[in-house]
Amino acid sequence: MLVLVAPGQGAQTPGFLTPWLELPGARDRVAAWSDAIGLDLAHYGTQADADEIRDTAVAQPLLVAAGLLSASQLGLAPTAFGAVAGHSVGEITAAAFAGVLGETDALSFVRTRGKAMAEAAAVTPTGMSAVLGGEPDVVVAHLEKLGLTPANINGAGQTVAAGTMEQLAALAEDKPEGSVKVVALKVAGAFHTHHMAPAVDVLEGAAKALTVADPVVAYVSNKDGRTVSTGAEVVARLVGQVANPVRWDLCMETFAELGVTGIIELCPGGTLTNLAKRALKGVPSVALKTPEDLDKAKALAAEHSA
């Protein structure tokens, strides 16, 4: 059984969209999306520097656009997969691929999400750091002692802490017992924490304008790793997700329960397949980083698709 996954914020790098825009029809498609949401996606994906694409209001729609573009170039129907999932903002990519949202609705929603989360992050200087290694229970207890939130419990020995810059500085000086290192992430706020509560209110309003359908393939949710069968519930979870932890560890446990035999990660791939290599040992995967990876992904799909 094949699973399609979509990465979250922090996966973007300067110029990563450049080779994708050289594919037939890609530049026109991205231009239409850009016009629809009032953001020059091609510019940010090809010419902008690391600081520009670190901006939450830019990074989030850019990531969803890249994921949808790479999915279209892969050319596989949703029903070729046994399940789909996304990490954080990647859940919107997954929802569009699963047929819950149309592409333009998905990009409009993520544009609103990015702006709202950027505004919430501007209230107090906050950020996120990855804690590598250590027993999850020990790491979580240590984070909570420092006033931090375990915002992403990613499995494979990775927990992401979120909070104020002062709290994160304290974490860098006082690592959890058994952890290897603490790495500051390239994000501009304490996402998936109470700091994002104002964004939830904005997204509740935006969700009312969406045209929603039920997913045509099993949709695995960040909230608890469970599959969600109705479009209304998917959207409700997308709204609440911004202020609640991402349980990617539970998503991967569900992949295993469903019988995953192959994983394809949409552009800009790498983060989620690396986690899977450690948590789902022996399951082959392909990360779509450039169009050169498409043939490998198609070969994997031919062998493992539903």
List, by residue number, the catalytic residues: 88, 192
- In the block, residue with structure tokens 């629809």: 36
What is the dihedral angle through the alpha carbons of 128, 54, 51, 21, rounded to the nearest 10 degrees?
150
How far from 79 is each of 239, 255, 295, 305, CA to CA, in Å? 26, 16, 19, 8
The structure tokens 């984070």 sit at 143
90: nearest Cα among 71, 115, 67: 67
Residue 178 has phi, psi (to 5 degrees) of 90, -10
CB 142, CB 183: distance < 8 Å: no
Question: Residue 37, Cβ neighbours under 10 Å: how many?
Answer: 19
**Per-residue buried b or exposed e for 190-203, using 16+ beta carbons within 10 Å of the residue's own CB:** bbbbebbeebbebb
> How far out from the chain centre does Cα 257 lie?
21
Contact 41, 33 (CB under 8 A): yes
Burial class of residue 49 in the structure, from the number of CB atoms within 10 Å of its CB (0-12 exposed, 13-18 middle, 19+ buried): exposed
User: Pairing state of beta strands 227-228 and 218-220?
Assistant: antiparallel
Cα atoms in the 13 Å half-sphere on the side-chain side of 249: 13
